[in-house]
Amino acid sequence: MPRLSISHLSLMLLLVYAAALSAKPQNIQIGMSLPLTGSAAGIGQSYKNGVELAIRQLNKEGGVQGVKLSLLVKDDQYEPALTVVNTRQFIRENKVLALFAYVGTPTSSAILPLLQHYQIPYIAPFTGAPLLRKAEHLFIFNFRAGYEEETQSQVDYLIHNPETKVGLLLQADEFGASVEQGYLKALHLKGITPVVTARFQRNSTAIEAGVSDLIKARAEVVFMVGTYKPLAEAISYGRRQGYNPQYATVSFAGLQQLSALLEKEDRVMATMVVPKPTDTKWQLVREYQRLMIQQATDPLSDVGLEGFTVGTLLSQALKLCALPVKRQCLLDKLRQQRAVYDFPLMFDPNKQQASQQVFRVKVTNRGVEDVR
């Protein structure tokens, strides 16, 4: 057997080392489609900013066993057709490991056939829709409490008299329909049927007709489903007509953005699925605030805090997987998480959901405050 010279041996070692480096992934890619323009842009921007806060921290600390996490972001304007286009590109062209932190029920509904076909992980969408909370959807991981929990909490708090006149003002799509079912179920337990149900189009602030119907029916409590701009316009239009009922809405509305559009006399109760972003008794909130001061210039918000929470949760799970990260490992490790800092988690396989927590607040022109 011929002897290898030192130069030949060195060359072989270099080739082996180069091969090992090439086998190691250069980064881990995750795809995110959400509204960065349009009427829901404030929600999308806040969620993205919170997620990026956590991912920057992960990469600053060395990433996933030395590999950076890369977030690919596309704007869908809260329009389902654009979400489908973005998702196809993520899956077929970018070949992402997972789809992460999408925003919206109608957008999620539109891509559900793609998710089912490719069985690609769909992680922490910003929606509480029941259509994503099914035991058979093993490719979905929901972080947040669902709309059923939010609506039940609101009805339990606000409705004590079965004679109360209740109205619904709903976005006319899958989002409105999914939250409507939660409200109807909770109201039925109180023996109440809404006196009026008004609807408005997604990405529109044309709500005068719907509010006029609420006024005619003399609804005393109005449960609203939509994003902050049309909801604020509805409250403003009612106020100009001398109509000032008790309003309530779910967390998707974008409560900090809604607060900035309210007047002193407006009465709005809401639910959130994370603590108030100013509630520093939570370690989660303190860490969010610390990094916001260091890395960001955006105002604190419940949506941003939720984005930071799910970004941190994703980081925790990824660190527990061997390289190259497999999709099933990521899903398994997510389901095994029991907390993000001091925010407790208990995965429910029947809903594919990690948190069941709901926080009741009131939204005023001064911000989000505790319900007293």
Q: Model confidence over 304-317: pLDDT tens digits?
A: 999 999 999 999 99
Decide if domain 23-145+278-355 falls under CATH 3.40.50.2300: yes
Query: What average pLDDT score do residues 227-252 get?
Result: 97
Q: How many CA atoms are closer than 13 Å to the CA of 38, on its beta-carbon side?
A: 16
Element (H, E) at 343: strand 343-344
Least confident of 25-29, 82-86, 221-225: 25-29
> Does the pLDDT of residue 213 top 80, yes or no?
yes
Question: For position 21, what pLDDT does the model report?
Answer: 45
% of the chain with per-residue pLDDT over 70: 92
Name the residue ranges covered by the structural domains of the chain.
23-145+278-355, 148-272
pLDDT tens profile 263-276: 999 999 999 999 99
CA torsion through residues 130, 361, 257, 43, sign = negative
Q: What is the pLDDT of residues 89-118, one digit of tens each?
A: 999 999 999 999 999 999 999 999 999 999
Q: 235, exposed or middle or buried, with CB in 10 Å at 0-12, 13-18, 19+?
A: buried
Residue 2 has pLDDT above 70, yes or no: no
Answer yes or no: is pLDDT of 372 > 50. yes
Please provide the average confidence, as pLDDT, over all residues in the chain: 93
Q: Quick one: pLDDT at residue 5?
A: 59
Residue 227: predicted pLDDT: 94
Local structure of residue 69 (DSSP, 8 states): E
Instruction: Judge if 23-145+278-355 and 148-272 fold alike in CATH terms.
Output: yes
> What is residue 247's three-state secondary structure?
strand
Tell whether domain 148-272 is in CATH 1.10.8.640.
no
Helix (H) / strand (E) containing 359: strand 359-364
Measuring CA to CA, which residue among 43, 123, 37 is closest to residue 76?
37
**pLDDT (average), residues 164-187:** 97
pLDDT at res. 98? 98
pLDDT value for 39: 87
pTM beyond 0.75: the answer is yes
